[in-house]
Structure 1
Amino acid sequence: MYDIIGDVHGHAQLLKQLLLKLGYNKTSDGYSHPGRKAVFVGDFINRGPQIRKTMRMIRTMVENGNALAVLGNHEINAIIAHLKDKNGIAMIKPPFKNFISVLKTMNEFAGYSEEWTGHLKWLRSLPLFLELDEIRVVHACWSDEAVEYLKNSLPAGRIKKETFRRVHKNPGSELAQNIWLLTKGPQFKMPGDLKIINNKGVSPRSFRMRWWEEPAGKTFEELSFESKFHLPDYSVPPQILPSGLPYTEEAPIVFFGHYCRGNGPHIIRPNICCIDGCVTGSRSLLAYRWNGEASLLPRNLVRMVK
């Protein structure tokens, strides 16, 4: 059975406490459980105070068969930030616009370049999604179409550096859009002539969506899955409605992170769970203990608070 663990973001001590609470023991092969396996939903790095230790913990568990893991958008950004072109020149140069979050990880590994290079190679061995028994795991959004495209487009095994070069160079390509859909989820982008004000007095130009629901008839707030602000309760004009990725009630249970849900909801439907407890906000690391049940149970959520 599986223990699905939300975004850790460099909080190794909190992860250790959570694993011990879940009944894992530290051995020479890292943390392990006699009858269970941890599953990490991505975003191990950046932000927290113990990124290097977090990477060692998770990698050791995965390499010794005690855990599984998928890539998050933070890992992909770290991979891209260290790519070089065919002439050996870094593709991303200071001031690292759009890659600021990676700087903390880079600074923590300053003086450990060989170790970090090894981690980057290992990260490319991780999948973008998992299908396990009757459950699915992805970092941000499940799309049958995106999953099928990537199954057919990416060779088995370690993802090549060239794939991430193509993602960075051609963000509008089908490859890039499908990878970012799974790891960042869809965002609603405001038309240039539309302005709405959130509860903090700011006019956002985009917001994260409840991708699993049909968007027709939704208000801006109902369509949003933001944790940092609330949007107005009036209907999204039908002329600008985005396409949805409805997730049916008959589909397998899906677990994902990414959305920093410090106050929930976590179990959104009997087959949909956002396991991100917002470790950098509420200092809460969350896990779900899946025991083979067909419908998610609130009592199986386990929270560790700093």
Structure 2
Amino acid sequence: MLSVIPDLHADPQRLLDTLARIGRYNRIALLGDLIDAGKNVRHPSDRAVLSMARELVDNGRAVAIMGNHELNAILFHRLGPGGPLRERSTKNLKQHWSFVADFGIGTTAALEWTNWFLDTLPLWREIDGLRLVHAYWSERLIAIVAARRPDGYLREEDLPEIAEGRSEFATAVKLLVSGPEFPLPGNGRITDNSGHRRSEIRLAWWKSAPATWKDAALSVARPEEIPDGWVPPEYLQGLETGSLPIVFGHYKIAGEPCLLDATAACLDFPARPCFLTWRGGEKIEAEDVITV
């Protein structure tokens, strides 16, 4: 069986507890965002999480995909003609502090680990009839990336273009790891889970039925800020009919882990570790999402 582990965010205890629950024999898939401690991580260590993940991969027991934090780190530690490919601003340093605490900025160690991200973490995988992506599965976007990178692995020469963010290829890469965001109606603003004020909102893109803003909103720290009314239908694209089941993380769902959709399962529940055990089939069952 395949056990899928969502965002760890530099929490070695979360990984150890999850591995203990999984047992010794299941194969493992890691959904990205291995790095950059979240606010609820009591004893963060990017070094410990990455070392354990690398050992699992090197031993052939695990595979992994890239999250937005790995992509951000790759850009943050590399220099282009005008400076770092990702701005080393106060905001970005705050998000990336635990990795910097372990490895520094632009050091040999930081570059070695971000090289490992490039070499080891594709943007998507498909295993035993299960599709894995960090934030957003889109056949159209995957086709755009696959036209240049059929295996989903980015290359060093892609990075300046991704950092600039203007091309179709760069947009596709960033949406796969970060998901789409949509403008709020009027002059609406929401506060995200990092405390930033935004005029755009993440929505449950996998919903196909009409939904209100309150039903579809994701990653909102203050639900009372979510507007009333219905989401424009074109915002919710829904899953393709007959598509394979998809598993992803990224969205920081509040509450206890649960199955949100039988064909598209978000596993990122920061308050409680969980994983998904995939036995094959056409859909994901509620009992496949296992709380640690």
TM tier, smaller: 0.7 to 0.9
Aligned mates of 1:232, 1:97 — CA distance in 2: 27
- Letter of the 1:270 partner, please give it: A
Query: Residues 141-220 of structure 1 correspond to what in structure 2 (within 5 A)?
Result: 141-154=136-149, 156=151, 159-169=154-164, 171-190=165-184, 193-195=186-188, 204-214=198-208, 217-220=210-213
Residues 1:288 and 2:276 are matched in the alignment = yes
**SS of equivalent to 1:268:** coil
Richer in helix (by share): 2
- Cα 1:20–1:187, aligned 2, differ >3 Å: closer, same or farther? same
Aligned mates of 1:160, 1:136 — CA distance in 2: 22
- Cα 1:138–1:203, aligned 2, differ >3 Å: closer, same or farther? closer
Structure 1 residue 97 displacement after superposition: 4.5
Say which one has the larger Rg: 1
Residues 1:261 and 2:253 are matched in the alignment = yes
Structure 1 residue 303 displacement after superposition: 1.9
Mean Cα displacement is larger for which, 205-214 or 291-300?
Answer: 291-300
- Cα 1:235–1:203, aligned 2, differ >3 Å: closer, same or farther? farther
Mean Cα displacement is larger for which, 70-79 or 266-275?
Answer: 266-275
CA offsets per residue over residues 231-251 of structure 1, 9 Å max, x none? 233224x5xx65433204521
Query: Residues 84-99 of structure 1 correspond to what in structure 2 (within 5 A)?
Result: 84-86=79-81, 89-92=83-86, 94-98=88-92
Mean Cα displacement is larger for which, 247-256 or 295-304?
Answer: 295-304
Aligned mates of 1:56, 1:142 — CA distance in 2: 28
**SS of equivalent to 2:253:** coil
- Cα 1:287–1:272, aligned 2, differ >3 Å: closer, same or farther? same
Q: Which residue of 2 aligns with 1:13?
A: 13
- Letter of the 1:273 partner, please give it: A
Q: Is the 8 A contact 2:134 2:177 kept in 1?
A: yes
Q: Which residue of 1 aligns with 2:64?
A: 69
CA offsets per residue over residues 50-71 of structure 1, 9 Å max, x none? 1110001111111221101000
Q: Which residue of 2 aligns with 1:44?
A: 34
- Cα 1:223–1:157, aligned 2, differ >3 Å: closer, same or farther? closer
Aligned mates of 1:158, 1:147 — CA distance in 2: 12
Higher relative contact order (CA 8 A, sep 6+): 1
**SS of equivalent to 1:270:** coil
CA RMSD of aligned residues (A): 2.6
Residues 1:224 and 2:212 are matched in the alignment = no
CA offsets per residue over residues 144-195 of structure 1, 9 Å max, x none? 00111111122648522221221112x131111111111111111236x433
Residues 1:106 and 2:100 are matched in the alignment = yes
Q: Which residue of 2 aligns with 1:246?
A: 238
| Structure 2: 5+ residue stretches without partners | none
Aligned mates of 1:243, 1:157 — CA distance in 2: 26
Structure 1 residue 295 displacement after superposition: 2.4
Residues 1:79 and 2:74 are matched in the alignment = yes
**SS of equivalent to 2:273:** strand
Aligned mates of 2:189, 2:116 — CA distance in 1: 43
- Letter of the 1:16 partner, please give it: L
**SS of equivalent to 1:276:** coil
Q: Is the 8 A contact 1:222 1:233 kept in 2?
A: no
Aligned mates of 2:92, 2:163 — CA distance in 1: 12
Q: Which residue of 2 aligns with 1:30?
A: none
- Letter of the 2:227 partner, please give it: P
| Structure 1: 5+ residue stretches without partners | 25-32
CA offsets per residue over residues 223-279 of structure 1, 9 Å max, x none? 32235232233224x5xx65433204521110000011241564222211101121x
Aligned mates of 2:238, 2:145 — CA distance in 1: 19
Q: Which residue of 2 aligns with 1:29?
A: none
What is the identity percentage for the equivalent residue pairs of Structure 1 and Structure 2?
A: 26
